[in-house]
Amino acid sequence: MTMEPRRILLTVTGGIAAYKVPELVRQLQREGHEVRCAITSAAARFVAPLSLQVLTGATVRQDLFDPSEEGEIDHIRLADWADLVIVAPATANVLGRMSHGLAEDLVGAVLLATQAPILVAPAMNVNMWNHPATQANLELLHAREVNFVGPGVGELACGWEGEGRMAEPEQIVAQVRVLLGSKSLVGETFLITAGGTSEPIDAVRSITNRSSGKMGFALAEAAVSRGAKVCLVAGVTALPTPAGVERVDVESALEMRDVVLAKLGSASIVIKAAAVADFRPEVREEKKIKKESLDPQAGLTLRLVENPDILAEISASKGSRLVVGFAAESEDVVQSALRKIKKKGCDLLVANDISRADAGFNVDTNSVYLVTPDGEVEEIPLLSKREIAAQILDRVEKLRNEKPC
Ligand SMILES: Cc1cc2nc3c(=O)[nH]c(=O)nc-3n(C[C@H](O)[C@H](O)[C@H](O)COP(=O)(O)O)c2cc1C
C-alpha cells in the first residue's frame, strides 16, 4: 500500500528559505499529491508567484480581498479543500499570528479556518528563534498539537550559525508521509537493522562491505509513516535519520548483536536488513599495524573467526514476535533463500539478487523475492527502495493478521 495521493495546501511566508519552495512543490508532486499554494505579500518578495502557479497549475492565492482570487476559490473553501496544510518557510511573524489566531491576511485566515492537520517548517535567524516571544508562541502551538519539522542547526542565510535553518524539502516530505500515512501499524514497535558492519583490524583499519543502509532506512521511514514506533540500529552508513525514528549507531557485528538483544524486549516486529559481516578478525590490534613491522615476503595474514548469527539467534526465541530477515544472494537466489529461511527460522526472508547492477547494495532501486517458511515465493520487480519497503510492510501486516501478538 503506497500512500494515497492527497491535497496539500502549501502556505509560504516571507523568509529567505522560500527559495526552496519550488523544489518542495516538485517533491510533493512526485509523491502523487495535488499541491496548491497560498503566499503572504512578504513571501512574494522571495519567490515568484508565477513560478509556483506554473508548477502547481493553479492560481497562487495571496490577497484576501481580491475579488477575482476570492471568486475562484474563496479562502474558506481553500482551507476546507486541504487534507494537510504546510507552512514553509514559517517566519517568526507567522508563528506569532498563528499562536494568537490573527487573520488579517489570507494565510492567517486559512490557517485559522482549516480543520486539516498543519505542518510548520520554521526558518529564521537564530536570535529570532531563541527569542522568548518566539519560544512562547511555539509553546502555544505545540500545546495545540500543531506539527513541526525542524528547524535544523547550521549556517544561516543571515550569516549567523545556529538553530533556524528550514528543514530540507526531503525532511518535510518525510514528515508529510508520517502525517498522511495509513496508521495501520499503530501499536507495533519495530526494531530494524540497516547498513554494513565494520570489523576492526587495528586502530584505523577495518573490514566492511558495500551496503548503503538505504533499504533498512526506507523500511524505518515507511513503518513510522504507518504509525509504528521504530528503533533503527544503524551500522556503517552516511544516511540521515528518518523523522520520528530512534537511531542507535553501531560499528561491528558484536556491537550490533548487543544493541539488538538489549532492544529486543520492547520490539513486536524485527527486520534485520543490515549486512552483518559473517567473519571478523580474531585479533584487533590496539595500535595501527606498522608496515615496517611486517616481513614483505610473508605479508600480513589475518585470521578471521565467525561472527554470531543474530538473525538465527533472535528467531530461535521469537515467541509472538515477527522476525523478517534479509539475504544477499548472487546465484540460485530463490533456492538459496528457501534453504536459508529453514535454517534461520524467521517468518519472512527478503532475498536480494546482488548480481544485478540495479538491485541490492548501494543503489536506489531493488528487486527482491519474499520467501516464507512454507515455501511460498513472491517476486517483487524492480522498484525504488521506498516502494519495495511499502510492499514488504504490506506483507508484514498480512503476517501480523495471521499471527497476532
Ligand atoms: C532579506 C530578508 C530576509 C528575511 N528572512 C526572514 C526569515 O528567514 N525568517 C523570518 O522569520 N523573517 C524573515 N524576514 C522578515 C520577514 O520577512 C518579515 O517579518 C515579514 O513581515 C514576514 O511576513 P509574513 O510572515 O507575513 O510572511 C526577512 C526579511 C528580509 C528583508
Based on the fold, state whether residues 285 and 235 are members of the same structural domain: yes
Based on the fold, state whether residues 217 and 286 are members of the same structural domain: yes
At residue 359, the pLDDT reads: 67
Q: How many angstroms separate the alpha carbon of residue 157 from the centre of ligand 1?
A: 12
Based on the fold, state whether residues 175 and 196 are members of the same structural domain: no
Q: How many angstroms separate the alpha carbon of residue 44 from the centre of ligand 1?
A: 11
Instruction: Say if ligand 1 is within 6 A of residue 302 CB.
Output: no
Instruction: Say if ligand 1 is within 6 A of residue 366 CB.
Output: no
**9 strand-pairing partners:** 36, 85
Among 399, 27, 397, smallest CA distance to 184 is for 397
Instruction: Say if ligand 1 is within 6 A of residue 11 CB.
Output: no
Based on the fold, state whether residues 243 and 353 are members of the same structural domain: yes
CATH number for position 262 = 3.40.50.10300
Q: How far apart are CA 97 and CA 82, in angstroms?
A: 20
Based on the fold, state whether residues 114 and 214 are members of the same structural domain: no
- Catalytic annotation present for 158: yes
Most confident stretch, 62-66, 127-131, 178-182, 239-243:
127-131
Q: How far apart are CA 343 and CA 340, in angstroms?
A: 5
Q: Which residue has the cell 508565477?
A: 50
Give the pairing of strands 189-194 and 269-272.
Answer: parallel
Based on the fold, state whether residues 118 and 22 are members of the same structural domain: yes
From 27-36, 40-49, 58-67, 265-274, the region with the lowest mean pLDDT:
58-67
- Answer yes or no: is 90 within a domain: yes
Based on the fold, state whether residues 228 and 170 are members of the same structural domain: no
pLDDT tens, residue by residue, 278-293: 999 999 999 999 988 9
Q: Does the structure show a pLDDT above 70 at 360?
A: no
| For ligand 1, mutation pick of 16, 87, 99, 120 (most atoms within 8 Å of CB) | 16
Look at residues 114, 146, 180 and tell me which one is the last residue of a structural domain: 180
- Answer yes or no: is 2 within a domain: no
Confidence bin at 403 (pLDDT 50/70/90): confident
The residue whose CA is least distant from atom 4 of ligand 1 is: 15
Q: For residue 65, give the amino acid letter.
A: F
Q: How many angstroms separate the alpha carbon of residue 42 from the centre of ligand 1?
A: 7
Q: How far apart are CA 98 and CA 352, in angstroms?
A: 49
- Is the distance from CB of 108 to CB of 121 less than 8 angstroms? no
User: How many domains, the chain?
Assistant: 2
Based on the fold, state whether residues 28 and 103 are members of the same structural domain: yes
pLDDT tens, residue by residue, 292-331: 898 888 899 999 999 999 999 999 999 999 999 999 888 8
Expressed in angstroms, the distance from the first to the final Cα of the chain is: 22
At residue 2, the pLDDT reads: 54
The residue whose CA is least distant from atom 13 of ligand 1 is: 15
Instruction: Say if ligand 1 is within 6 A of residue 123 CB.
Output: yes
Can you say whether the dihedral through the CA atoms of 99, 103, 106, 109 is positive or negative?
positive
Based on the fold, state whether residues 168 and 248 are members of the same structural domain: no
Q: What is the mean pLDDT of residues 59-65?
A: 92
- Answer yes or no: is 48 within a domain: yes
Q: What is the mean pLDDT of residues 38-64?
A: 96
Which H/E stretch holds residue 343?
helix 333-344
CATH number for position 125 = 3.40.50.1950
| For ligand 1, mutation pick of 11, 20, 93 (most atoms within 8 Å of CB) | 93
- Answer yes or no: is 1 within a domain: no
Based on the fold, state whether residues 146 and 261 are members of the same structural domain: no
Boundaries of domain holding 316: 189-402
Instruction: Name the E strands within 312-376.
Output: 322-329, 348-353, 365-371
At residue 3, the pLDDT reads: 64
Average pLDDT, the chain: 93
Instruction: Name the E strands within 266-364.
Output: 269-272, 279-281, 304-306, 322-329, 348-353
Q: How many angstroms separate the alpha carbon of residue 123 from the centre of ligand 1?
A: 9
- Closest approach atom of ligand 1 to CA 94: 25
Q: How many angstroms separate the alpha carbon of residue 49 from the centre of ligand 1?
A: 17
Q: Does the structure show a pLDDT above 90 at 110?
A: yes
Can you say whether the dihedral through the CA atoms of 160, 162, 166, 171 is positive or negative?
positive
Q: Which residue has the cell 507567522?
A: 94
